[in-house]
Structure 1
Amino acid sequence: MKNLFVTTTLDHYLQAKNAFTIVDQIIELQKNPEVFVEEFQVWKITKIDKITFSMELQDGNLNTILLHYFQSASIQIFELTVWLENSTLYFPSEH
Structure 2
Amino acid sequence: MRNLFITTTLDDYLKSKNAFAIVDQIIELQKNPEVINEDFQVWKITKIDEITFSMELQDGNLNVIIIHYFQSTSIKIFELTVWFENSTLYFPNER
TM-score (norm 2): 0.99
Counterpart of 1:49 in 2: which secondary structure? coil
Q: Which runs of 5+ in 1 are unaligned?
A: none
1:36 alignment counterpart: 36
- Matched to 1:20, the amino acid is F
2:56 alignment counterpart: 56
| Aligned-partner Cα distance in 2 for 1:60–1:20 | 23
Residue 2 of structure 1: CA displacement? 1.2
TM-score (norm 1): 0.99
- What is the total number of aligned residue pairs between the two structures? 95
| Aligned-partner Cα distance in 1 for 2:60–2:81 | 13
Alignment deviations for residues 7-56 of structure 1 (CA, whole Å, 9 cap, x no partner): 00000000000000000000000000000000000000000000000000
RMSD of the alignment, in Å? 0.3
Q: Which runs of 5+ in 2 are unaligned?
A: none
2:20 alignment counterpart: 20
Runs of 4+ in 1 over 4 A off after TM superposition: none
Q: Percent identity?
A: 81
